[in-house]
Structure 1
Amino acid sequence: MNSPSSDVSVPPAPPEPQAARALPNGLAAFLVFYASGAVLVLETAALRLVGPYVGVTLQVTSSVIGIALAAIAYGAWAGGWLADRRNPRILLAPALVLAGIATAITLPAVRYAGEVLRGGAASAILLLVAVAVFAPAMLLSAVTPLVVKLQLADLRRTGQVVGRLSSIGTLGAVTATLVTGFVLVAALPSTVILFGLAGSLGIVGVGLWVYLRRQDRAALPGPARLKSALAALGLIGAGLTVIAPNPCDVETAYHCARVEADAVRPGGRTLLLNSAQHSYVDLADPTHLEYAYTRWIGAVADVIAPPGQRLDALHLGGGGFTVPRYLTATRAGTDNLVFEIDGGLVELGERQLGVTQGPDLRAVVGDARILVAAEATDSRDFVVGDAFGHLVVPWHLATREMAAEIRRVARPGGVYVQNVIDYPPLRFITSEVATVAAEFRHVAVIAPPEALAGARGANFLIVASDAPLPLAAVRARLDADNEPASLLSGGDLTDFIGAALVLTDDYAPVDQLLATA
């Protein structure tokens, strides 16, 4: 007698799903290397994109790194999640094409958003950086887990496969960082870098789609829609970029630069770096000093060496070359040596700002800290510190060690003047004065009275020497100016400094001291 269960037919078990076919090892390595490198091209270029709107400070740099890492993390997680639920072979090409689309619209998106978020607080910086980096970096970061999933055909080699592809991705990121920082940013505008990257992502994506389709026609649809999407991408991205507001006339390796003509003064020209006013020159009258702090520098120069008496002057930062042109015009035979890190600004000055190099004015392209160390001892009568990264003095030019180098280069009785920008509660200017005073015997500060009282941000001019400063003569010059300026020295300056931090190469939190919050 048969058991009841023997009359019941058992359906056959469903077939085990076949694992997606692995990619050739060379192709897998290329995709991981290329996608990881593309993320770092975006990250490096992002500093140029957002700089005109929020500056290039430690907070901005930290935001770019943090947002990029967040995009990498979310992209890797999403890519791994999708790889377990869909055939990665179907997802790889769309991920690359979508990353190309996101990259193409990054530049116009940043330019529109930047006009709204310009000069904002930390939240504005994070939001603008996210617009510049997050979407394309996340899509590109999904490529590696998709490729890894395809290559894991033998579980006994899991560690080897993951380790190899991880190292290849890291090498791609390192290579892209070096090539972008040393070559691309110095040679190409942001528009070319981003659209070049977007185009290459689209080409690689379409090429990969065609290759995989030839291998497995049943699993992959044709690339026609992909090509249409890329064509639309090119038109939309190019159109938006053309009409988007462009804050730059020239993109140098360090700055987004623009020169504006003065509507009131025919020869007047304002140099804007990253959309902030940096310098003003009068092409017809190099003795005209528009900004108060430049008149203060001119006043100090006129007191220590009356017009007509030549000087050996060293300038840390060129910008619009306002002060070197002033000294050349007022003191025939003066030797102006200018250290300017941005060679593009030197070329712009020669083209549009009346800069003429010759025996009385020489520009050397390089970092002022390194170049000052190579200068001869007791070689300069007048040293002008006017170097900025956006509105911030680069930290390595603000330390006691740098002040010691300047003191070494200055002759006995030579004078050092340093332009500093700070805002209430004035933590950076007090620290910088304390730092300079740690090396020079005699120090004074010139600034608007309300700025010294902590009522607003402004330019401050530090004046320092190992010889007594001619303060009475400087005071007389300041009184003759139209804009009121205070001159602090002695006990008043000591009270102003208080217990401020002396900045050193080991500890110089310049960006944090400048934070207004």
Structure 2
Amino acid sequence: MRLPDPVTLSSGLTAEIEEDRWVPGAIQLLVDGTPQSHVNLRDPGELFFEYIRRIGHVIDLFREPGRPISALHLGGGAFTLPRYIEATRPGSRQQVVELEGALVDLVRAAAPLPARASIRVRRGDARAVLGRLPEGMRGAMDLVVVDVFAGARTPAHVSSIEFYTEVLPFLAPDGVVVVNAADGPGLPFVRGQAATLAACFDAVAAIAEPQVLKGRRFGNVVFVASGARSDAHGGQGHADRSADRRAALEGLDWLPRLLAGGPHPARMLAGRELAEFIRGAAPVTDANAVDSPAPAQELFERG
């Protein structure tokens, strides 16, 4: 397989594609040496990274298997999840927002998207592009995936209540938002994200490897959220909000099955456990938002 040369991104970081020497036909996207995406070109329905596999299980379970969905991906990488959705839910309509045009070109040169797939790629900052998306997308997205990284860090401006308030109008009434957040010891960034999502949605769960959720090592936490809180928009009365809350919780009754699907070990926090996890953490606003922490470089050293 002939791969394109590395490219320099607008941030000054270097993006490159390499073959996976252990999985024939698979490639990996790295940004400044940090693995960002993995794609099995022979079988896009096979997911490699642990957190991506957890998101894949959400995609498998939250709707009837094989049923096409409408999905909005904030953060493109090597388009692992759009490819997965096309492979497992053919006919789905998807929109991908990716800041780095050079990255989009690099990935497309190494691994073109399926020709018949309905996958539209928009270039630009995720939050800025939200304001330019077609009006017809509002209230129509079954799934919104938030997986935005600049290098190895999530930018502050896509972690706040104001940001999620801009995401909410695109979500279908029974739609689901999935957020990937990475953090290290103590989990200050992840706990802030949990508090932020709880302020915007009626039903929120956090899923990760137990040692990550305990704040003992760096890793990824996948959040699943549904049911917009009425006070996030500043609208409905108490009775309507109670109905929305019940609908959101009932709509996520498939969550426990995520743990059975692996990867193992796994733990899920919801309800009282999530409230205890959040205790002491305040929702993030534009005024106090910070980038997620950078992982230790040795986590990604290649032998």
| Superposition TM-score, scaled by structure 2 size | 0.83
Amino acid in the other structure paired with 1:252: L
Which among 236, 261, 269 is matched to residue 480 of structure 1? Answer: 261
**1:405 matches 2:159:** no
Query: Counterparts in 2 of 1:64-143, with a 5 A limit?
Result: none
Amino acid in the other structure paired with 2:274: L
Identify the residue that residue 504 of structure 1 maps to in structure 2. 285
**1:468 matches 2:254:** no
Structure whose CA Rg is larger: 1
**1:312 matches 2:73:** no
Any conservation in 2 of the 1:426–1:514 contact (CA below 8 Å)?
Answer: no
Which among 493, 513, 516 is matched to residue 274 of structure 2? Answer: 493
Q: Supply the distance in 1 between the matched residues of 2:118 and 2:35 (Cα, whole angstroms).
A: 26
Identify the residue that residue 6 of structure 2 maps to in structure 1. 249
Which among 333, 343, 366 is matched to residue 124 of structure 2? Answer: 366
Amino acid in the other structure paired with 1:249: P
Gaps of 5+ in 2: 228-247, 297-303
**1:391 matches 2:172:** no
Amino acid in the other structure paired with 1:383: V
Any conservation in 2 of the 1:427–1:514 contact (CA below 8 Å)?
Answer: no
Q: How many residues align?
A: 268
Which among 195, 201, 211 is matched to residue 434 of structure 1? Answer: 195
Shift of 1:423: 0.2
Shift of 1:356: 4.0
Amino acid in the other structure paired with 2:6: D
Structure with greater proportional helix content: 1
Secondary structure at the aligned position of 1:510 is classed as coil
Seen in structure 2, the aligned counterparts of structure 1 residues 444 and 435 have a Cα distance that, compared at 3 Å, is same
Seen in structure 2, the aligned counterparts of structure 1 residues 249 and 374 have a Cα distance that, compared at 3 Å, is closer
Q: Supply the distance in 1 between the matched residues of 2:121 and 2:42 (Cα, whole angstroms).
A: 21
Comparing 470-479 with 454-463, greater Cα deviation is found at: 470-479
Identify the residue that residue 17 of structure 2 maps to in structure 1. 259
Q: Supply the distance in 2 between the matched residues of 1:500 and 1:510 (Cα, whole angstroms).
A: 16
Any conservation in 2 of the 1:350–1:356 contact (CA below 8 Å)?
Answer: no
Deviations 1:154-188 (A, max 9, x none): xxxxxxxxxxxxxxxxxxxxxxxxxxxxxxxxxxx
Identify the residue that residue 81 of structure 2 maps to in structure 1. 323
Deviations 1:179-230 (A, max 9, x none): xxxxxxxxxxxxxxxxxxxxxxxxxxxxxxxxxxxxxxxxxxxxxxxxxxxx
Any conservation in 2 of the 1:349–1:355 contact (CA below 8 Å)?
Answer: no
Identify the residue that residue 423 of structure 1 maps to in structure 2. 184
| Superposition TM-score, scaled by structure 1 size | 0.50
Amino acid in the other structure paired with 2:272: G
User: What's the % identity of the aligned pairs?
Assistant: 37
Query: Counterparts in 2 of 1:446-461, with a 5 A limit?
Result: 446-461=207-222
Secondary structure at the aligned position of 2:255 is classed as helix
Any conservation in 2 of the 1:446–1:488 contact (CA below 8 Å)?
Answer: yes
Shift of 1:253: 2.3
**1:279 matches 2:279:** no
Relative contact order higher in (CA < 8 Å, ≥ 6 apart)? 2
Shift of 1:396: 0.7
Q: Supply the distance in 2 between the matched residues of 1:338 and 1:320 (Cα, whole angstroms).
A: 11
**1:336 matches 2:94:** yes
Q: Supply the distance in 2 between the matched residues of 1:436 and 1:491 (Cα, whole angstroms).
A: 15
Seen in structure 2, the aligned counterparts of structure 1 residues 331 and 508 have a Cα distance that, compared at 3 Å, is same
Amino acid in the other structure paired with 2:219: A
Shift of 1:509: 2.7
Q: Supply the distance in 2 between the matched residues of 1:418 and 1:256 (Cα, whole angstroms).
A: 25
Shift of 1:472: 5.1
Query: Counterparts in 2 of 1:220-239, with a 5 A limit?
Result: none
Structure with greater proportional strand content: 2
Any conservation in 1 of the 2:205–2:224 contact (CA below 8 Å)?
Answer: yes
Secondary structure at the aligned position of 1:451 is classed as helix
Seen in structure 2, the aligned counterparts of structure 1 residues 483 and 332 have a Cα distance that, compared at 3 Å, is same
Secondary structure at the aligned position of 1:468 is classed as helix
Gaps of 5+ in 1: 1-247
Compute the RMSD of aligned alpha carbons.
Answer: 1.9
Any conservation in 2 of the 1:299–1:478 contact (CA below 8 Å)?
Answer: no
Q: Supply the distance in 2 between the matched residues of 1:373 and 1:346 (Cα, whole angstroms).
A: 21
Shift of 1:260: 1.4
Amino acid in the other structure paired with 2:249: P
